[in-house]
Amino acid sequence: MICEEDTIQSSCSSLNDLSAASSLTDLGNPQPQPQIYNYDDLMIVRKLNKAKFPVFLTYSPMTNQYFAMKVFPYTNDKISPYFINEARFAALDNENVISTVHFELEREAMFEEEFSKISYTIMELAPYGDYFDVIMTHKIIFDDKMARTYFHQLIEGLEYIHASGVAHLDLKLENLLLGNNFILKIADFDQAHIKEQETVYTKGTVCYRAPELILSCCKNPEASDIYSAGIILFLFKSGGVLPHSEHQKFRGLDLFDLLNNNKGMFWEKHCEIQKKESSFFESDFKALFNAMVSSNPQERPTIAQIKSSKWYNKSIYSKEEVAIYMTHCLSEASKTQNH
């Protein structure tokens, strides 16, 4: 995580006790459904990641279903402010947003870890991992049609989130999950922002974050999400090559500076880096990406403008075609890794 815990703590100071935290969701949406999953009935199968807030694969004998459990250890016998923030968004309900089915404020940990008291959320399981694994680990290369298909799903989820008065502020490949039927799911809202909240505390993630987050002067959180979505669009197209390294030179090039001040040279150098013909980045793609990652938040397109752009409106795969495409790609990746 990039942001410091004390800054998140200050944004959630009114929710630091159990009585305040019992009404966490404040989005103008229905509250989460009544508790239907008992912690004591869940079996911990294995750890799915080694992040600051670990995620475990769990199984419910009661429902014969698997879930993901995200664990927030207590700090100095206090509820994690990141849990408090994320739990506020448990009522979000959209095909392209991960579903939270249950959360609890305080439990004794029932598995071998360095912490003993936790808060946690129970979420739908995304069986195919995250898009970092898909693109960077499994080396799956999307064709233009697939890149656009998944970009559509990202924008649909983002449109819903923004309409709910929420900005994610930490969009990146690791926070996009591949759910059932290979549907994109936006996850991890521990740094998200509610519209009514005046101050933006998070600094986002390096290489994905908008310039105003770097400078701690974000006034339009939704526009910051548009910037991060633009970075993800580039990664979908490039097969995992980041557009820039945020103020660090790559092969002697300051791509961040070129992106902001010399876009023609930026695209020329990326074709050299990726060993692509100049036609690989077609004009419609470049126009959309350039607009989304404008250094001026006011110049970035709205979601409606993104959805009316030329590149966005070219062909996409059906859900059935996506399933066939991704099943084949993951099967081939598995064969390669096993040899």
Tens digit of each residue's pLDDT (9 = 90 or more) over 95-105: 999 999 888 88
Of 140, 139, 309, the residue nearest 226 (C-alpha)? 309
DSSP three-state, residue 127: coil
Q: What is the pLDDT of residue 23?
A: 35
The half-sphere exposure of 182 on its side-chain side, counting CA atoms within 13 A, is 18
Q: What is the pLDDT of residue 26?
A: 39
What distance in Å separates the CA atoms of residue 246 and residue 53, rounded to the nearest whole number? 25
| Domain 131-337 grouped into CATH 3.30.420.40 | no
Q: What is the pLDDT of residue 114?
A: 63
Confidence grade of residue 12 (pLDDT, cut at 50, 70, 90): very low
| Beta bridge partners of residue 193, listed in sequence order | 167
Q: With 50 as the cut, is the pLDDT of residue 24 above it?
A: no
Q: With 50 as the cut, is the pLDDT of residue 86 above it?
A: yes
Assigned CATH topology for domain 5-124: Phosphorylase Kinase; domain 1 (3.30.200)
Where in the sequence of the chain do the CATH 3.30.200.20 domains occur? Answer: 5-124
Q: With 90 as the cut, is the pLDDT of residue 178 above it?
A: yes
Q: What is the pLDDT of residue 8?
A: 40
Q: What is the CB neighbour count within 10 angstroms for residue 136?
A: 15
Where in the sequence of the chain do the CATH 1.10.510.10 domains occur? Answer: 131-337
For 51, residues 6+ apart whose C-beta sits below 8 A from its C-beta are none
Residue 144 known to be catalytic: no
DSSP three-state, residue 40: helix
Q: What is the mean pLDDT of the chain?
A: 86
Tokens found for residue 183: 């549907």
Q: With 90 as the cut, is the pLDDT of residue 269 above it?
A: yes
Q: With 70 as the cut, is the pLDDT of residue 21 above it?
A: no
Q: What is the pLDDT of residue 39?
A: 58
Q: With 60 as the cut, is the pLDDT of residue 10 above it?
A: no
Helix (H) or strand (E) holding 156: helix 144-163
Confidence grade of residue 339 (pLDDT, cut at 50, 70, 90): low
User: How much is the average pLDDT of 118-127?
Assistant: 91
Q: pLDDT, tens digit, for every residue of 211-254?
A: 999 999 999 999 999 999 999 999 999 999 999 998 888 888 99
Tokens found for residue 290: 């350039």
Q: What is the pLDDT of residue 29?
A: 37
> Which of 5-9, 13-17, 118-122, 183-187 shows the lowest per-residue confidence on average (mean pLDDT)?
13-17
Please give the residue that has the higher pLDDT: either 10 or 78: 78
Q: With 60 as the cut, is the pLDDT of residue 18 above it?
A: no
Q: Which residue of the set 6, 26, 40, 170 is catalytic? A: 170
